[in-house]
Amino acid sequence: MWGLAARLLAAARPHGTARPHGTARSKQKLFSTSSVLSKDKDKSTASKDSPPEGAAKKQEDGAETPKQQLLDIIGNMKVEVSYRKKLQQLKASENKKQAMNKVEGLDSEGSVPQGITEDTQRDKPLNPELVKAASAVASSLPHNKKQIESELLAQLRRHEETTDKQKKGGTINIRNVISEMTVKRQSPAQWGVRISGRISLQDEDGRRIRPERSSARSMDSRRSLKVGRRLNIFTKASTEPEHALKTVSSPTIWDLEFAKEVAAVTAQPPRNGFEEMIQWTKEGILWEFPIDNEVGMEDDAEFYEHIFLEKHLEGFPKEGPIRHFMELVICGLSKNPYLSVKQKVEHIEWFQKYFEEKKELLQEI
């Protein structure tokens, strides 16, 4: 039986919530537009005596201007309202328990007391503190004091009415409102799943947010990197003497460490073998590329002078055993990296002299 009851309840819930859905949403919208209205009005009153930026600054400073008071009071009021709402909700849930099967009828029931309380509410005077603050605002302005005050109070009254209205209507649906909110937050993530739902939500969102956003836009649209003024603190100066000074002093530990830190920003692990080889080259681990035969060119001799030594054999006979011997000699010399070109030539010359000296002896043979 208990299981059955639970299932009944579970089955009843979606039906119960489905209908108030729409009403809750519209109420929410009402409420929010009213708050925007009040905000707008606030701004308009503010703009009369000072630019909005100034007002914002004053708020930041926390100076207790009458305007500020008014804002505070409105803020407090909202809190109070929500608290009352909560109480109401508790009551409503009690009601629900008593008439569990009549969940659907509750809406119509709720509408009866709503009308009554609304009437009483209308006559109820506004919070005296609030009235005082409103008149203070009005008196701070240069003209039309009476009119402004009455406008302010009328606005406040309207505000209170709407909140009350919502309080009555919205009590049952407070949970729906909350769940709506969570849905909204998820909607960007669950983009695809709820496209249709999201579009309709967005629609309402747009209407709600647009006034605020447009004001923010107008502030932002002035912001651009291209236009605007500069600070005008520094002047561009050629600072050559200073540079000269800087180069003289040796780098301090600060400079060294800063350089290291900056280098570390772009020091990423290599992405392929070649990059790794670049890193190794920089560290001095790898032979430098290209590996060519230009190493040692500094001692003023090209590699071919080291290797092609035939030209030094002109003084020798064109053929015969001496020629053969000398060819072997230069072959050996050309492979010897440890001798300089000069030494190699001297070596050949020694043989030339030697064979010159022994010429007669050789001819005898």
Partner 1 sequence: MAARRAGAGCWQRALSLGLGRRCRLPRGPDSYRSSSSSPALGKTVDNSQVTQEEIVLPRRKTWDKLAVLQTLASTVNRDPTAAHYMFQDDPFLMPRNAANSRLYSLSKESGKNAAKYIIKNFPQYFDKTFAEPNIPCLMPEALTPQTEGMSEEALRERIHLRMVKESVDMFDQLLQAGTPVSLETTNSLLDLLCFYGDGEPTPEKEPEEKEDLEEPGVNASEQKAPKRQFQRGSRSSGPRWRENNHAERIFKIIPERNAHSYCTMIRGMVKVKLFLTAGGFSSAFEISHSQRLFIFVFLQHGAYSKAYDMYIDLLNERHKADVHAFNALIRAVPYLKERFVERWELTKDLLTHMAQQKVQPTLLTFNSVLKSLRRCGGVGRTMSLFVLKEMEALDIEPSLASYEHLLSVHYKGVDAPSSDIISEVLNEVENRNFTAQDPDDANFFTTAMQVCCDLKDIKLAYQLNKALEKGDNWKFLDVDRSNGYWSKFFSLLCMMEQIEVVLKWYKEMSSSLFYPTPKNILDLLQALDAANQLEMIPSVWEDVKQLGFSRRQDLLEEFLSLMSRDQHPSEIQLAFAKCAEEIKAVHEPAGPGQVPLEWTGSALGHVVVLFSRAGRTQDAWNMMEHFQKINRIPTDKVMDEFLNCAKQTNCPDEAIKMVKLAASLGLPLSQRLKSRTEEEFELSETQKKALESIKWDGDSSDSDSDSSDSDRE
Q: Which of residues 236-275 bind partner 1 (CB under 8 A)?
A: 236-237, 239, 242, 252-254, 257, 261-275
For the record, the structure tokens of 299 come out as 């001692």
Helical residues (DSSP H) of 50-123, grouped into ranges: 52-61, 66-98, 106-123
Minimum CB–partner distance for residue 45 and partner 1 (Å): 21
Residue 4 Cβ vs partner 1, minimum distance, rounded to whole Å: 6
> Quick check: 29 and 204 in contact, CB under 8 A?
yes
Give residues 144-163 in contact with partner 1 (rule: CB under 8 A).
none
156 and 134 Cβ atoms separated by less than 8 Å: yes
Q: In terms of C-beta distances under 8 Å and separation of at least 24 residues, what long-range contacts does 12-15 make, across chains too?
A: 12/101, 12/103, 15/103, 15/104
Query: Which of positions 276-295 make contact with partner 1 (CB under 8 A)?
Result: 276-278, 281-285, 288-290, 292, 294
CB of 262 to partner 1, least distance (A): 5
Q: Nearer to partner 1 by C-beta: 235 or 247?
A: 235
Residue 53 CB, shortest distance to partner 1, in Å, is 9
- Shortest separation between residue 338's beta carbon and partner 1, angstroms: 15
Q: Compute the least distance from the CB of residue 321 to partner 1, in Å.
A: 39
Cα 288 to Cα 299: distance, rounded to the nearest angstrom:
20
Q: Say whether residue 86 binds partner 1 (CB under 8 A).
A: no
Binders of partner 1 in range 160-189 (CB under 8 A): 188-189
Residue 302 region by backbone torsions, left for phi larger than 0, else alpha for psi between -120 and 50, else beta: beta
Using rule CB under 8 A, residue 363 touches partner 1: no
Stretch 113-132 residues interacting with partner 1 (CB under 8 A): none
Regarding 50 and contact with partner 1 (CB under 8 A), the answer is no
Footprint of partner 1 on residues 3-22 (CB under 8 A)?
3-4, 7
Minimum Å gap between C-beta 233 and partner 1 is 5
Q: How far is CA 15 from CA 1, 19, 90, 102, 105, in A?
A: 22, 7, 21, 12, 12
Task: Name the minimum Å distance from CB 106 to partner 1.
Answer: 24
For residue 98, state whether it binds partner 1 (rule: CB under 8 A): no
- Kindly tell me which residue out of 64, 203, 220, 356 binds partner 1, with binding defined by CB under 8 A: 220
The closest of 357, 12, 360, 28 to 175, measured between CA atoms, is 28
Quick check: 193 binds partner 1 (CB under 8 A)?
yes
Binding-site size for partner 1 (CB under 8 A) equals: 71
Measured between alpha carbons, how far is residue 322 from residues 81, 311, 352 in Å?
121, 16, 10
Decide: is 142 part of the binding site for partner 1 (CB under 8 A). no
Examine residue 297 and tell whether it contacts partner 1 (CB under 8 A).
Answer: yes
Name the nearest CA neighbour of 55 among 208, 163, 215, 210.
Answer: 215
Of 74-82, 134-142, 211-219, 357-365, the window that binds partner 1 (rule: CB under 8 A) is: 211-219
Our CB check for partner 1 shows the closer of 100 and 297 to be: 297
Instruction: For residue 171, count CB atoms less than 10 angstroms from its CB and return exposed for 0-12, middle for 13-18, buried for 19 or more.
Output: buried
| 23: exposed, middle or buried (Cβ count in 10 Å: 0-12, 13-18, 19+) | middle
**Binding of partner 1 at residue 212 (CB under 8 A)?**
yes
Cα 293 to Cα 298, 301, 307, 311: the distances in Å are 12, 12, 11, 21
Whichever of 203 and 276 has its CB closer to partner 1, that residue is 276
Which residue's CB is nearer to partner 1, number 87 or number 262? Answer: 262
- Name the minimum Å distance from CB 329 to partner 1: 29
Residue 200 touching partner 1 (CB under 8 A): no
